[in-house]
Structure 1
Amino acid sequence: MENAWKEIQPKNIYRIVRMLPNTDLASEALLHLYQPIMGAQALALYLTMTSEINQLTGSSEESLHAELLTMLNCGIPQFYEARSKLEGIGLLNTYKKDSSELGTVFVYQLLSPMEPVEFFKDTVLSFHLLNTVGEKKFQRLVQQFEPKTFHVEGYQSITKKFLDVYGWQNQELIEKSEKLERVTEKFQLLQARKPVANELEVLNWSFVEELLKRKLGTTVHLTDTIKELFSLYHSMYGVDELELIELSLPAFDMMSGEFNQKELQRVLTVSTLPNNKKQVPEAISNEGPDEELRRWNTLRQEGFNEEELALIKDSETIPPMIYLEAIKEQKGGFVSKEETWLIQDLINKSPLKNSVLNILINYVLVVKNNASLTRSFVDKIANDWSQLKLQSPEAAIRHLKSVKKEAAKKLETAPRRTGQKRVRREKLPDWLNKPQQETAADPKKQAEIDRKLQNYLAKKEGDH
């Protein structure tokens, strides 16, 4: 959690603002739908921030983070993680600026939760909720919040229209139209929130629809939601078009001519997917053997060794989830739900290619020798790499080499400080103590990990 201390200090000032209050339904969604995904600490942070806002002004007073930490009874790392979870799930926007007088100042903009109907329309949020609470609890939540219908066959509607009851005053409307327009403009400033799930254009949809037509004997219209599910599993697990169709057929409803979304999530998540993982390249390369050979020779001339070239090849041929599972197994660990969600979010939100994400995974778990992928640490790296527009695994490796070289150079040229004047510092509570620095792993472990990775993947392929 070293990055948390670099990002926030207890002395930093913050202010909280919000555009709209939560509705009753949104509050229900926050407790029953959002909280299982983001956890109790993030919920406590959201509710604490909400309590500080003046309902008339829509803003809080300026305060120190130390006061907020005291109310939450947590430290900087725990606060940073909770804040990140709120940001990632679409409940918080964070802004900061550096002031010569006040130092770093933060503004936290609270966003209202989606109401349940909109929440369940979002593929990624529904997927996370299903994985968190399990099939039985998920279905109970669906039943609790799904729109209820009432059949009115045999009844005649006698409902009166608005104008029949309240009338219409044209002259008064003309006189007050300018004032009404100003009010309308205020509410039009609010843009519709984009869903967490973004369609991933990685599958050949015309090919998918043609294959479905051959299998089912009828034309199938794929909705955006179904496309999101297919793309998500393709990106995470490397399931290609043929496999996706075979796995998804039980979820197709011949009566309606459409896929049942809930059943599709079930067959892809719970039953057959773990037994159908396969190595596939992230994209079909248009390069011929000569171009490919020139690429490797050019990288060798730049100074890339054979272990690094093998790492690049692995990163381009193995989906991120399979890559993560392989490394975790060879280290004697396992992939947690939080890590699965993290990889899914990176695939959905970041512009980084799967091959670059694999280099990131390798860096955190092998080079840095961390036991697991921590969201705050990984998000920081992914954001940096996205802003640097690292579009290939070799570009990511070059960047890591450059950062390491620059750090070593600064360490060598740093002047030795002697006789420094002692400065009195306030003793902070135990929960504000800064965690220890990370220690890098032995680089020689990389070759051993690569060898075990290949053995693991060969074994997996042999299981099919």
Structure 2
Amino acid sequence: MKPIWNEIQPADRYRASSNGLLQDYDQKVISLLYQPLIGPQCYSLYMTLWNEVEVGRLWSEDWNHYHLMSFLSMNLSEIYEARLKLEGIGLLKTYMKQTDDIRMFIYELQPPLSPEQFFNDGLLNVFLYRQLGRTHFQRLKHFFSDRAVEPGEYRDITRSFQDVYAAKIGPEVLNEAEAQQISRLEENRRYIEKTAAPVIKIENTHFNFDLLYANLRDELIPLRAITPEVREAIVKLSFLYGLNELDIKKILLQALTADLEIRVEDLRKIARSWYQIEHHDELPRLVDRFQPEADAKERKEPENDEEKFLRYLETTSPRQMLIDFSGGSEPAKADLAAIEEVMFAQQLPLGVVNVLIQYVLFKTDMKLSKNYLEKVASHWARKKLKTAKEAMAFAKKEDRQYKQWLNNKEKNGTGRRKPVRVEKLPDWFKKEDQKTAAAAVQADGESLEEKRKRLEKIREQYKKG
């Protein structure tokens, strides 16, 4: 369990309060839009604190945290982590006062975003889409929306205030200054009212705008195109998709209109497409910065060269792997398009896609044949391969069959027999007769051993970070 005794203890007391009046509609928003992101424990904590606040009032009675532990059947660590998640997503503010050895907490519930704010947030809506999928996401969007009045069908005949009311001037009218004075609340009180939800702000601690502007000086993008709205979108997108300054520059170039302006919606679409190509048609998901122990295995450092190479295959985007293979050159758009189409159509995991690319590159003399790529990919998808290691083993097992597919394709495509091509294999495809294979020379003069050395160099660069 995470050591939290310095942060909170069961005997510490708390009061729940509400930043404004919470309504039944807010409960629907939290239940259907927020709960898939924060989980049932956070939802239970929020609703428990809400119910402790008296209906129509803003404060609960004093309780200690033993009460919460018993009521929620959660240990103190779970309550503390649920509290942090609620704070991070903007549903809770926490205040603490210490007097001698007694600590008093105030848990101030914040209203959720309106459905319109949520579905246009740029962060939460993307995370929710990733969590629920297209069908259920569309269902929720329709649940929280309805048909609007068509402006062309009706005309607005609503009367204004001054059309209906007039001020009567006379001695019986109260003094205006006195009315204003009496309306003011005492310093330690506030009106019970519906308040606006705090919009989630991403603190810009990770993106260097000075570096971005320096990169833009040589491009056609004027700095006036980076409006405050665009700047805020850049901060969100860089956080959401892990974009650096160079990535953002490329995306801005694509989003620039003929009028030298940048629309935030275009920026979002291009960034989303870039991320999905890089990450196998997936959107980012919301995870905790304090990761559970279940992820410890995933974060474990590789112990040998084989594990390092597998980690490289499982974590490197296909685009970056092609760049590594070519010694730093940007891959051709046709190659990226072929890989993207296969990724979207066959839904293969990232590690499997990278093994597939390596296998096809070596089999087709580094040309990345689209037809051959699609045929092998569909076979691997039917076999439900999940990891790079499984894909390597399966490629070795089915190599004879794939070689026959390739030979038949060449015979049918030309009408005459092509010169026999020397067999080339990726480094992980070593067999017992590798000495014989290493002696083979490719048609372009590069031996298989030289090819292996180049791949080894790529792996060495990866090990150095």
The amino acid that maps onto 1:131 is R
Shift of 1:44: 0.9
Please show how residues 381-400 of structure 1 align to structure 2 within 5 Å.
Answer: none
Q: Is the 8 A contact 2:302 2:311 kept in 1?
A: no
Partner SS, residue 60 of structure 1? coil
Q: Please name the residue that 2:202 is paired with.
A: 198
What is the aligned-residue identity percentage? 25
Equivalent-residue separation in structure 1 for 2:239 and 2:109 (angstroms) = 31
Shift of 1:220: 8.9
Q: Please name the residue that 1:274 is paired with.
A: 279
Equivalent-residue separation in structure 1 for 2:34 and 2:174 (angstroms) = 45
Please show how residues 366-385 of structure 1 align to structure 2 within 5 Å.
Answer: 370-371=296-297
The amino acid that maps onto 2:202 is N
Partner SS, residue 141 of structure 1? helix
Shift of 1:181: 4.1
Q: Which has the higher contact order (CA 8 A, sep 6+)?
A: 1
**1:114 aligns to 2:113 (yes or no):** yes
Cα distance, 1:90–1:154 mapped onto 2, change above 3 Å: closer
Cα distance, 1:29–1:60 mapped onto 2, change above 3 Å: same
Task: Give the alignment's TM-score, normalised by structure 2.
Answer: 0.53
Equivalent-residue separation in structure 2 for 1:92 and 1:155 (angstroms) = 43
Q: Is the 8 A contact 1:10 1:65 kept in 2?
A: yes
Shift of 1:156: 3.9
Q: Is the 8 A contact 1:199 1:228 kept in 2?
A: no
Cα distance, 1:241–1:370 mapped onto 2, change above 3 Å: closer
Q: Please name the residue that 2:8 is paired with.
A: 8
Cα distance, 1:145–1:2 mapped onto 2, change above 3 Å: same
Q: Is the 8 A contact 1:14 1:62 kept in 2?
A: yes
Judge which range, 250-259 or 56-65, deviates more: 250-259
Equivalent-residue separation in structure 2 for 1:266 and 1:237 (angstroms) = 8
Cα distance, 1:234–1:53 mapped onto 2, change above 3 Å: closer
Q: Please name the residue that 2:363 is paired with.
A: none
**1:76-103 deviations in Å (ceiling 9; x for gaps):** 22222221211111111222333336x3
Shift of 1:136: 3.5
Q: Is the 8 A contact 1:248 1:268 kept in 2?
A: no
Cα distance, 1:257–1:173 mapped onto 2, change above 3 Å: farther
Please show how residues 157-168 of structure 1 align to structure 2 within 5 Å.
Answer: 157-168=156-167
Partner SS, residue 44 of structure 1? helix
Equivalent-residue separation in structure 2 for 1:116 and 1:224 (angstroms) = 24
The amino acid that maps onto 2:182 is K
Unaligned runs of 5+ in 2: 324-465
Cα distance, 1:194–1:57 mapped onto 2, change above 3 Å: closer
The amino acid that maps onto 1:177 is Q
Equivalent-residue separation in structure 1 for 2:54 and 2:45 (angstroms) = 17
**1:362-394 deviations in Å (ceiling 9; x for gaps):** xx99xxx94478xxxxxxxxxxxxxxxxxxxxx
**1:405-446 deviations in Å (ceiling 9; x for gaps):** xxxxxxxxxxxxxxxxxxxxxxxxxxxxxxxxxxxxxxxx97
Cα distance, 1:205–1:370 mapped onto 2, change above 3 Å: closer
The amino acid that maps onto 1:71 is F
Shift of 1:51: 0.8
Shift of 1:176: 1.9
- Aligned pairs, number: 309
Q: Is the 8 A contact 2:255 2:262 kept in 1?
A: no
Unaligned runs of 5+ in 1: 277-335, 347-360, 374-444
**1:85 aligns to 2:85 (yes or no):** yes
The amino acid that maps onto 1:180 is S
Q: Is the 8 A contact 1:10 1:66 kept in 2?
A: yes
Q: Please name the residue that 1:172 is paired with.
A: 174
Q: Is the 8 A contact 2:122 2:236 kept in 1?
A: no
Question: Which protein is richer in helix relative to its size?
Answer: 1
Q: For the aligned residues, what is the CA RMSD? A: 4.7
Q: Please name the residue that 2:94 is paired with.
A: 94
Larger Rg: 2
Q: Please name the residue that 2:39 is paired with.
A: 39
Cα distance, 1:45–1:455 mapped onto 2, change above 3 Å: closer
The amino acid that maps onto 1:120 is F
Equivalent-residue separation in structure 2 for 1:189 and 1:155 (angstroms) = 33
Q: Is the 8 A contact 1:36 1:132 kept in 2?
A: yes
